[in-house]
Chain A
Amino acid sequence: MGVIHKNNMDIFFYIAATIAIISTIMAISGRNAIHSLLFLILSLLAISVVFYLLDAPFIAALEVIIYAGAIMVLFIFVTMMLNIGLEKKQEKRWLNPRMWIIPSLLAAILFIDLMLALRNMPTTVVGKQLILPKQVGISLFTTYLLAVEIAGILLMAGVIGAYHLGSQKKKVLHRFLIKK
């Protein structure tokens, strides 16, 4: 019974991972910006399913809420506001097979290497227990308290920078740059 259950979970995992890979490839090879954004959202949802199957339900919820809910909506909003047309001829030149076949070959070799390394790695504990959000929170606010503070400062800097960039201000030039 346990073996059958584990195999079922494996099948779900492989389906979600395949959907993630295919939609990511569609996202980075598409011409239309809106279409690739929608494929990117699909990829994020598939990765969230993968996180759930990897015993991290808290991270799966965060992925759906923050990534697919907030960041991607911001992307789609800006893309629709700017109304980007089809891309120019240089992207067409980048997309022909000669440009990307060597990096993808190297990445495939790296992937096979990683897979072989993971297969030969001795697995000590098979029956993993779930990592609860409580454990994550305790570790976040005791061990990584300084990093939390630094992340807060980074978010503050992001808010100030976005406000500064977004404000439509009067153009002020340096006095050397003003044409007489």
Chain B
Amino acid sequence: MLMSIEIMFNSAGLVFIIAARHWDQPDGQVMFIFILAVTAVEVAIGLALILQVYHHFKTLDVDAINKLKDDNS
């Protein structure tokens, strides 16, 4: 789900912070702030998409969502 993306972003941010500490530069922390902004946008869009999918299909099973065409018109 979307939670795993959070975990991956977090691990990337952790690596940036460790690199910033290792080389004594503030650039890694700047990059972590950018990662934070990207994560916030991604969560907002992803949760809006999940709500729309749930309204359309009444399920969140990804295998049930296999049509591009809107056939329940």
Give the residues in chain B near A6, CB-CB below 8 Å.
Answer: none
Docked-complex contact A56 and B29, CB < 8 angstroms:
yes
Give the residues in chain A near B65, CB-CB below 8 Å.
Answer: none
- A140 to B20, alpha carbons, bound, how many Å? 14
Q: Given that A71-B6, A139-B27, A147-B34 are known contacts, is A177 also in contact with B51, CB under 8 Å in the complex?
A: no
Docked-complex contact A158 and B40, CB < 8 angstroms:
yes
B: contact size bracket: 35 or more
Shortest Cβ gap from A68 to chain B (Å): 11
Asked if A170 is an interface residue, CB under 8 A from chain B, the answer is no
Give the residues in chain B near A67, CB-CB below 8 Å.
Answer: 6, 10, 36, 39
Docked-complex contact B37 and A139, CB < 8 angstroms:
no
Q: Given that A54-B17, A56-B17, A154-B38 are known contacts, is A140 also in contact with B33, CB under 8 Å in the complex?
A: yes
User: What are the 5 A-B residue pairs with the smallest beta carbon separation, nearest first?
Assistant: A158-B41, A165-B48, A135-B26, A151-B37, A162-B44
Q: B-contacting residues of A (Cβ < 8 Å)?
A: 24, 27-28, 33, 36-37, 40, 43-44, 47, 50-51, 54-56, 58-59, 62, 66-67, 70-71, 74-75, 78, 82, 84, 88, 90, 125, 128-129, 131, 135-136, 138-140, 143-144, 147, 151, 154-155, 157-159, 161-162, 165-166, 171, 173, 177-179
15 further contact pairs, Cβ within 8 A, besides A56-B17, A140-B30:
A24-B7, A43-B7, A51-B17, A56-B21, A59-B32, A67-B10, A70-B40, A71-B6, A71-B43, A75-B47, A82-B54, A129-B24, A131-B29, A140-B33, A147-B30
Q: A-contacting residues of B (Cβ < 8 Å)?
A: 1-4, 6-7, 10, 14, 17-18, 20-21, 24-27, 29-30, 32-34, 36-45, 47-52, 54, 60-61, 63, 69-70, 73
A-B contact pairs, 14 of them (CB 8 A): A40-B6, A47-B10, A54-B17, A56-B21, A71-B39, A88-B61, A125-B24, A128-B21, A144-B30, A151-B38, A165-B45, A165-B52, A173-B73, A177-B70
